[in-house]
Amino acid sequence: MNDPHSGQHFRPHAAHSGKSQPPTVADVPPRELPSHLLHPESTYVRAMLEDLDDVVFSAVRGDADALEQAHTLWPQVVAAIGWDLVEESREQYLRFAIDVTQRFETDNARKPEHAVAALEVISLLTRD
């Protein structure tokens, strides 16, 4: 093949060896498929939700570091595994946070910082 403008001669090279097609689902090990990873009973989903449980419950109890971590972890988990898989946990977190705030309303040994932490978690979990 000649390029009349450059004066150089180009020759096609030999075909590449190996697969010329992009990988298919059959090429991916089943445990690495998104449908497996995002199955509600998968190790991946369970581990993410367990981490989220630890952080959110600690945040509601007044752990400032956990509260800061919850602000980062919550949107990451929702983005990674989807709203449907997080919704049940979210409902449990909200019930727990509401219980904590109500307990502080009736408890004689009030700790406003714990109530504020619970309210912050409620705010985080109810944002759009």
Q: Is residue 113 packed enough to be buried (19+ CB in 10 Å), middle (13-18) or exposed (0-12)?
A: exposed
> pTM, whole model, 2 decimals?
0.65
Give the start-to-end residue ranges of the domains of the chain. 43-126
Cα 62-105-75 angle, rounded to 5 deg: 40
Question: Which of 3-7, 23-27, 32-36, 114-118 has the least mean pLDDT?
Answer: 32-36
How confident is residue 124, by pLDDT bands cut at 50, 70 and 90? very high
Over residues 60-75, the pLDDT tens digits come to: 999 999 999 999 999 9
